[in-house]
Amino acid sequence: MISGIDGLYGITIDNDPDIEVNVKAALAGGASVIQYRDKSSSSEKKRKIATKLKQLCAGKALFIINDDVELAKAAAADGIHLGKDDADIGRARALLGDKIIGVSCYNRLSLAEAAQAAGVDYVAFGRFFTSSTKPDAAQASVDLIVQAKKSLSVPVVAIGGITVNNAGSLIKAGVDSIAVINGLFAQPEIRKTAQAYCALFDNINT
Catalytic residue at 37?
A: yes
Distance CA 107, CA 126 (A): 6
Which residues neighbour 64 within 8 Å (Cβ) at sequence distance 6 or greater? 33, 34, 35, 36, 72, 77, 78, 79, 80, 81, 100, 102
Query: Is 191 among the catalytic positions?
Result: no
- Assess whether 134 carries a catalytic annotation: yes
32, 46, 99, 104: the active-site residue: 104
Q: Using CB atoms within 10 Å of the CB of residue 101, give its burial: 0 to 12 exposed, 13 to 18 middle, 19+ buried.
A: buried
What is the distance between the alpha carbons of residues 150 and 46, in angstroms, rounded to a whole number? 38
| Integer CA distances (angstroms), 143 to 126, 137, 169, 187, in order | 12, 17, 10, 28
R_g of the chain computed on alpha carbons: 16
Query: Which listed residue (108, 134, 172, 191) is catalytic?
Result: 134
Among candidate residues 32, 37, 46, 177, the one labeled active-site is 37
Which residues are tagged catalytic?
Answer: 37, 104, 134
